[in-house]
């Protein structure tokens, strides 16, 4: 009789083979990135000219959480670098389909904004792209961690707050030629994000998450929000604004999981959701996460000062997007490591409604207690 370890190993191998088959069906000439294929990856990298004929892969290890993509740190006897491959599913939730070319879109973002020195020094450097395998080769930032510790009580430093605000401000004012702008429509990824931000959290059937398993009593709170016609209609209208093409290049997922820190630097990563849209969305998402992580008032005020918005910036719209971002993180699939009771989540959901449905809400999200 096979032992439990053999059964688990066989099951894992079966899942890996199934994923490889799914990828190969769509990208028949592409290489499928796997953490146990040192020899195959060496041949692939040598064939691409990304390493020379004397360089071999010595070690492969996960780089970060890998929620959306397969991301590995590659170590050879000469250096380390990062490989990132997108597949036609979400890596953490393979049952959720996702656009296959999102890594290529991310590579295009790095290429364009890499020409801006103030942005380039806050991002990994793009070393190579292989469209056939939907693969990026990026510089290794070294020992780094994301900012999700904010949800457990960490407080942003003043320097970090300034860096985040200036990054968005600079990004949103990058000027692109009209033909280049067309390369950042990113319609498929935008529709995926739209579904998980504006649709599923308020769907009557729910997003497929057992909310009471996360926080007892949260399912009742969710039901109340889903039956709130005014709130649901307002969220729907904001979703329509989100889907419209806009004037600014956005990061598209600007939250603590997309910021990483080393001993000396702060970096912004994972711009696969980038698109030409309303700048208010990015800043609204940032403010929502400062709220959900209980950052003090001075942090929210300082980041908006660092952003240096122009006269066309719609503060009410940013506050409304912030309200939606709060709601989706409490009721949607993409949950956060929040240390919060149902009473705290109820208060956040009430604030979310006020932000989405009210007027003159900028002071509430920036200066509120």
Buried-exposed string 353-363: b where 16+ CB fall within 10 A, e elsewhere: bbbbbeeebbe
307 pLDDT band, cuts 50/70/90, is very high
Residues 173 and 91 in one domain: no
Q: What is the pTM of this model?
A: 0.93
- The answer to whether residue 280 sits within a structural domain is yes
Please give the pLDDT value at position 358: 85
Least confident of 58-67, 144-153, 277-286, 316-325: 58-67
Residue 1 lies in a domain: no
- pLDDT tens for residues 143-162? 999 999 999 999 999 999 99
Residue 14 banded pLDDT, cuts 50, 70, 90: low
Domain finish residue from 139, 162, 197: 139
- Tell me which of 102, 124, 139 is where a domain ends: 139
Q: How high is the pLDDT of residue 209? A: 87
**Structural tokens at position 353:** 């409604």
With a cut of 90, say whether residue 207 has pLDDT above it: no
- Confidence at residue 16, expressed as pLDDT on a 0 to 100 scale: 66
Within a domain: 176? yes
Of the candidates 31, 39, 108, 44, the one whose C-alpha atom is nearest the C-alpha of residue 70 is 31
Tell me, yes or no, whether 5 lies in a domain.
Answer: no
Tally helices (H) and strands (E) across the chain: 15, 10
> Residue 179: its pLDDT value, please?
84
Same domain for 173 and 120, yes or no, is no
Q: What does DSSP assign to residue 279?
A: H
pLDDT reported for residue 15: 64
What pLDDT does 7 receive? Answer: 34
132 and 169 part of one domain:
no
Does residue 167 fall inside a structural domain?
Answer: yes
Q: Do 86 and 194 belong together in one domain?
A: no
Show the domain range for 161: 145-367
- Whether the predicted pLDDT of 6 surpasses 90: no
217-240, pLDDT tens digit by residue?
999 999 999 999 999 999 999 999
Does residue 160 sit in the same domain as residue 174? yes
The tens digit of pLDDT for each residue in 44-53 reads: 999 999 999 9
User: How many domains, the chain?
Assistant: 2
Q: What is the DSSP string of 132-191?
A: TTTEEEEE---S-EESGGGGGT----HHHHHHHHHHHHHHHT----HHHHHTT--HHHHH
Which of 85, 115, 139 represents a domain boundary (last residue)? 139
304 and 355 in a single domain? The answer is yes
- Is residue 327 within 8 Å of residue 197, measured between CB atoms? no
Q: What are the pLDDT digits (tens) for 173-189?
A: 999 988 899 999 999 99
Say yes or no: 155 and 195 in one domain: yes
- Residue 2, pLDDT score: 47
CATH code at position 342: 3.90.1200.10
Which pLDDT score, from 0 to 100, does residue 259 have? 97
Three-state DSSP state, 35: coil
**CATH number of the domain where residue 50 is located:** 3.30.200.20
């Amino acid at each position: 009789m096979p032992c439990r370890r053999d059964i688990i190993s066989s099951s894992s191998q079966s899942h890996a083979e199934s994923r490889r088959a799914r990828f190969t069906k769509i990208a028949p000439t592409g290489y499928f990135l796997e953490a146990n294929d040192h020899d195959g990856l060496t041949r692939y990298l040598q064939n691409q000219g990304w390493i020379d004929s004397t360089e071999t892969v010595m070690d492969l290890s996960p780089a970060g959480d890998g929620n959306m993509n397969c991301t590995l740190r590659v170590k050879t006897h000469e250096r380390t670098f990062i490989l990132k491959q997108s597949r036609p599913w979400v890596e953490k939730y393979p049952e959720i389909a996702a656009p296959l070319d999102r890594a290529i879109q991310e590579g295009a973002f790095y290429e364009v904004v890499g020409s801006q020195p103030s942005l380039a020094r806050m991002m990994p450097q793009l070393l190579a792209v292989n469209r056939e395998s939907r693969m990026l080769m990026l510089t290794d930032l070294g020992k780094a961690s994301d900012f999700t510790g904010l949800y457990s009580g960490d407080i942003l430093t003043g320097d970090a707050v300034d860096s985040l605000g200036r990054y968005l401000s600079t990004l949103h004012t990058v000027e692109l030629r009209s033909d280049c702008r067309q390369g950042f429509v990113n319609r498929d990824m935008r529709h995926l994000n739209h579904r998980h931000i504006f649709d599923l959290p308020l769907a009557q059937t729910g997003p497929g998450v057992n909310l009471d398993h996360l926080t007892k009593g949260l399912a009742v709170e969710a039901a109340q929000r889903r039956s709130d016609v005014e709130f649901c209609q307002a969220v729907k209208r904001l979703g329509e604004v989100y889907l419209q093409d806009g004037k600014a290049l956005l990061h598209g997922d600007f939250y603590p999981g997309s910021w990483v820190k080393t001993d000396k630097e702060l970096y912004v990563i994972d711009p696969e959701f980038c698109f030409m849209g309303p700048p208010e969305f990015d800043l609204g998402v940032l403010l929502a996460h400062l709220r959900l992580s209980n950052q003090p008032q001075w942090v929210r005020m300082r980041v908006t000062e660092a952003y240096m918005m122009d006269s066309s910036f719609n503060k009410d719209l940013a506050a409304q997007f912030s309200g939606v971002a709060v709601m989706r993180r409490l009721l949607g699939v993409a949950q956060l490591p929040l240390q919060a009771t149902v009473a705290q989540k109820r208060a956040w959901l009430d604030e979310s409604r006020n932000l989405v449905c009210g007027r003159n809400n900028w002071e509430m999200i920036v200066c509120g207690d």
